[in-house]
Amino acid sequence: MGPITNSTDRSPEITDADLEAGQCLTEAPPRLESRASDGPPAPPPPAVQALVDKHPAKKDWCGSQGTEWVPEGLGKVDWSDACKTHDECYGTPGANKFLCDYGLQQDISLDCAAQGGGIMCQLMAGVFFHGVRTPQGEEAFERAQAAAAKQGAQ
């Protein structure tokens, strides 16, 4: 596969070797604290888009409203099942958000180990944990809890 480019961006080309080595992850992360009142979310940086393009989602388990660009894996590692388990935890009535989030980190870390992911993969487990500990993660948890309560009332 050749270099990955973004035709609307003039960033340097990112190759598969850069992705595997994690060298494309040196740019600033996307802003996570955006709200619906801020308008549409900004497009992800080229390195994140390259990961998204490399790992097309079966279903968007990783990410929520406004964060559909969150990757389902890194390199050869697929952690979409960890995200699915995390979503199901959020949707369990009375769930403990911290335990759901910590479980996500542990599950991604286990996926990295089981599927031959390197140190960058292990670091991504921590990135995901901190990503869901944001106000946007709190909103996703509250939406899932409200939906679970509504479904339980029917």
Taking only the tens place, the pLDDT of each residue in 58-67 is 566 787 767 7
pLDDT surpasses 60 at 51: yes
First vs last Cα of the chain: how many Å apart?
51
Average of per-residue pLDDT across 9-32: 52
pLDDT surpasses 60 at 53: yes
Taking only the tens place, the pLDDT of each residue in 130-149 is 999 999 899 999 999 999 99
Enter the pTM of the model.
0.60
